[in-house]
Amino acid sequence: MVDFNKIFGQILKEKRQAAGLSQDQLAVKVQVSRASIANYEAGSQGISLEHAVLIATELNLSLDHLKQNQHDKLIENELKDLDPKVKETILKALRD
């Protein structure tokens, strides 16, 4: 079964790092603890809509962007064991 919190956490970590922010820096900006950011990234704690909006705003992302990235990762996870050519064909069809 796919764990949505873990996938969201992976995306959050990637986007935070791409923005050049530490967990501490992001936590201060969105007024949560560093432990909360770490837990969100680890997927061990669900995130409230309020915090998701604050984080998306701070990282200059829309929630739609985060959701699409989450959707893309879910699909990639489901297709990971397929032959690479089959996987690419499916992904191309989904993008079109």
What residues does each domain of the chain span? 4-95
Superfamily of domain 4-95: lambda repressor-like DNA-binding domains (1.10.260.40)
Higher pLDDT, 91 or 35: 35
Rounded to 10 degrees, the C-alpha dihedral 43/78/68/12 comes to 20
Residue 60 burial class via C-beta count within 10 angstroms: exposed 0-12, middle 13-18, buried 19 and up: exposed
Query: Model pTM?
Result: 0.69
Q: What is the pLDDT of residues 18-76, one digit of tens each?
A: 999 999 999 999 999 999 999 999 989 888 888 988 998 999 887 776 666 666 777 77
What integer is the mean pLDDT of 63-91? 74
Which string of b and e fits 35-51 if b means at least 16 CB within 10 Å?
Answer: ebbbbbbebeeebeeeb
Say which residue the tokens 């820096």 belong to: 25
